Amino acid sequence: MMVGFAGVEGSGAWRSFAQGWVPVLAVLAALSVVVGNLAAIAQSSVKRLLAYSAVAHAGYALVGVLANQKSDGFAAVLYYTPTYALTTVGAFAVITVVQERAGDDKLAAFAGLSKRSPLLAFCLMIFLLSLAGIPPLAGFFGKFYLFKAGLFVKGGGAASLGLLWLVILAIAMSSVSLYYYLQVLKQAFVIEAPADAPSLPTSKVTNLMLALLAGAVLLLGVFPNLFVQPLLAALSGG
């Protein structure tokens, strides 16, 4: 989009749309973050919840594409995509373990997870809070870079208010996502497990992989420049 369709971007500015690919993607991004997050709230299946959440995250990523800048927008997308992938793989891994033991992936299956399997509960907390964009996890900086690129589309600190509407909407819907992620964590850390809840034994390999994924999400959040600076250098040809 940035290279092959350069010169026909159009405008996604509020009430000043101009024909091109930017306004089309802007509308798709807005629909993605709204529909994805609102649909996720209604889910009792945690896997479906994450699936609808993925729709919203695709909308967030489009903000970086709409910034239409190689050094900022594209770098933000390239940072966001792998960090989101790490987080999602980890979250689905925890859900799969619970589902295999409990027989389903409903919210109630996660009741008392912090006592039944502290490691699973801790890793799930890291993954879900990162998806919600809570600092100092990788998901926070991923969204920060995307939204910054969407605001400063001209670079050099010159803010463009054209995409401000989309950034505000994305931030608002990201706040909504915190609600349903916390619903899962409420089951894991607040609600007591029923007396007949199955145990959740996990292999050493599973524990190691989950710990590594959670550690990577935390590391890339505390030290985002470990990934961002090489990206910027590569995109600038340095």
Would you list the domain boundaries of the chain? Answer: 21-225
Rounded to two decimals, what is the model's pTM? 0.89
Considering all CA atoms of the chain, what is the largest pairwise distance in Å, rounded to the nearest integer? 64
* pLDDT bucket at 156, cuts 50 / 70 / 90: very low
CA–CA separation, 182 vs 150, rounded Å? Answer: 27
Digit-coded pLDDT (tens) for 99-109: 988 888 999 99
* pLDDT bucket at 71, cuts 50 / 70 / 90: low
CA proximity to 188, closest of 102, 63, 60, 61? 102
3-state secondary structure of 18: strand
